[in-house]
Amino acid sequence: MARRRKVYEGKAKILYEGPEPGTLVQYFKDDATAFNNEKKGQITGKGVLNNRISEFLMLRLSDAGIPTHFVRRLNMREQLIWEVEIIPVEVIVRNVAAGSICKRLGIVEGTPLPRSIVEFCYKSDDLGDPLVSEEHITAFGWATPPEIDDMMSMALRINDILYGLFVGIGIRLVDFKIEFGRLYAEEDVRTVLADEISPDSCRLWDVKSNKKLDKDRFRRDLGGVAEAYQEVARRLGILPEGGPADMKGPSVMQ
């Protein structure tokens, strides 16, 4: 079978040339990596779930006025996206201390932060995505000051929207990582949300039990990884029992 041209292959996704100029097809793999590629594995069905979860969240954000690269889902593992130039900065938003901030600042995991904190990391596997300041970003030309303003304000709005959405289904949005891209349209260039938002890139804890429903189950060998991703999809109302025709909206937990 003739296959589209592969444009890029990352750890969890592959990008293919899209059907129209300026579009790409984003394919979600079951591959999982952690600790900067030191730990590798497969989570059965992850690609299918992340494709749906990311679609759902991107559409909710788009409804709320956040510009995104998402066009539409094509099938179980693929979505059509606008081709963007990825800004080489990972934007992390934290509501509760977990992961690297605990190690770096000696904070106990689970401590609520006094306010939501936005961090920037330079996207470089070789360097292990180091934490950087706005000064580094502008000095080395990774993004311009207006792009940093766009990323910062969008990240906080995205956090507000997603935090509320997840609380409604009994999940605490502890932290998440997002990426932005430059969307070129004629003379114009716009900063848009890119990549994915899924349990691979978020920390999601059950509000009542604090059970981890995200990639930390894989990172820390906690077991039940695929089940946790399914649980997130189920609560969002996007894990159909009888196929795609059964798709429902989110079920609100009391």
Contact call for residue 225 and ligand UDP (CB under 6 A):
no
Pick the stretch among 7-15, 80-88, 173-181, 229-237 that binds ligand UDP (CB under 6 A).
173-181
Work out whether strand 78-82 and strand 23-28 pair parallel, antiparallel, or are unpaired: antiparallel
Under the criterion CB under 6 A, does residue 73 sit at the interface with ligand UDP? no
Q: Measuring CA to CA, which residue among 30, 41, 22 is closest to residue 77?
A: 30
Question: Among residues 16 and 122, whose Cβ is nearest to ligand UDP?
Answer: 122
The closest residue (CB) to ligand UDP is 99
Stretch that binds ligand UDP, among 78-86, 197-205, 237-245, 246-254 (CB under 6 A): 197-205
SS3 for 66-94, per residue? CCECEEEECCCCEEEEECCEEEEEEEEEE
Query: Which run of H or E residues covers position 204?
Result: strand 202-206
Task: List, in sequence order, every residue forming a beta bridge with 68; answer none if it has no partner.
Answer: 193
- Residues 71/83, Cβ–Cβ less than 8 Å: no
- Measured CA to CA, the distance from residue 140 to residue 122 in angstroms comes to 11
Q: Would you count residue 129 as binding ligand UDP (CB under 6 A)?
A: yes
Q: Is 172 in the site for ligand UDP (CB under 6 A)?
A: no
Is residue 202 near ligand UDP by the rule CB under 6 A? yes
Evaluate the CA torsion angle 133, 196, 164, 218 in order and state its sign: negative
Residue 5: Cβ within 10 Å count: 7
Q: Which stretch binds ligand UDP (CB under 6 A): 1-9, 185-193, 200-208, 237-245?
A: 200-208
- Residue with smaller CB distance to ligand UDP, 101 or 233: 101
Residues 101-120 that bind ligand UDP (CB under 6 A): 101
Position 196 contacts ligand UDP (CB under 6 A) = no
Site membership for ligand UDP, residue 99 (CB under 6 A): yes
Tokens 């901030």 correspond to 101
Distance CA 69, CA 18 (A): 13
- Could you say whether residue 46 binds ligand UDP (CB under 6 A)? no
Identify which of residues 100 and 144 has a Cβ nearer to ligand UDP in the complex.
100
Q: Which of 51, 54, 201, 230 binds ligand UDP (CB under 6 A)?
A: 201
Q: Which residues bind ligand UDP (CB under 6 A)?
A: 92, 98-101, 129, 175-177, 201-203, 215
